[in-house]
Amino acid sequence: MWQSYLNGLLVAFGLIMAIGAQNAFVLAQSLRREHHLPVAMLCVVCDAILVAAGVFGLATVLAQNPTLLAVARWGGAVFLIWYASKALIRACSQQSLQHAEGQGQRSRQAVLLSALAVTLLNPHVYLDTVLLIGSLGAQQTMPGAYVAGAASASALWFFTLALCAAWLAPWLARPNTWRMLDLMVAVMMFAVAAQLILG
């Protein structure tokens, strides 16, 4: 049991820690301190569901259906370009990500819907989480323990990212820092979209 758990933990850590669209979104929300803990929880839940789905059969279905992967690929590319464009516009504006006094936060529902879109409209989540992690998990002696290990890695990573970034926010609350963060998010999203389009 513990061997399968440890395998899930290590494999998931290796993939989750790579900077991608989901991590960039969590980081930005955490620096804003805008519903960052619910966003982290949503990412953990989505990862756990997708890993479990991959381990218990969805990885095989996706691998055998190129049409589903194509829909995810092009839909994800369009969403990422739109999101990157918004980040680039913010980076070039006077306010950038900075919260002006009296400026209201977005509602929790709006932020969570954006987090859900960043998570589920990114085809890399299916390639990494469902296909790769899921396929490896299906070969474990105890697949359930493997899923628990992967979910633990996701929880450790996203809550650490959310809490540490929120803690650092007061020291990073300079307009140029926010602009650089938005620029980084835009470049990251455009790069992922380009990878999807170029195949």
Q: What is the pLDDT of residues 98-156, one digit of tens each?
A: 443 444 578 899 999 999 988 888 777 777 787 777 777 777 788 889 899 999 999 99
| Residues of the domain holding 164 | 2-97+110-198
Residue with tokens 């474990």: 140
User: Is 184 within a domain?
Assistant: yes
Query: In the chain, what is the straight-line distance between the N-terminal and C-terminal CA atoms, in Å?
Result: 38
User: Is 20 within a domain?
Assistant: yes
**One-letter amino acid identity for 21?**
A
What is residue 122's DSSP assignment? -
User: Is 189 within a domain?
Assistant: yes
User: Is 104 within a domain?
Assistant: no
Does this model's pTM top 0.85? no
Rounded distance between C-alpha atoms, residue 39 and residue 81, angstroms = 21
Residues in CB range of 14: below 8 A, 6 or more apart = none
User: Is 102 within a domain?
Assistant: no
User: Is 131 within a domain?
Assistant: yes
- Residue 43 pLDDT class (50, 70, 90 cuts): very high
User: Is 92 within a domain?
Assistant: yes
Q: Give the chain's domain count.
A: 1
User: Is 103 within a domain?
Assistant: no
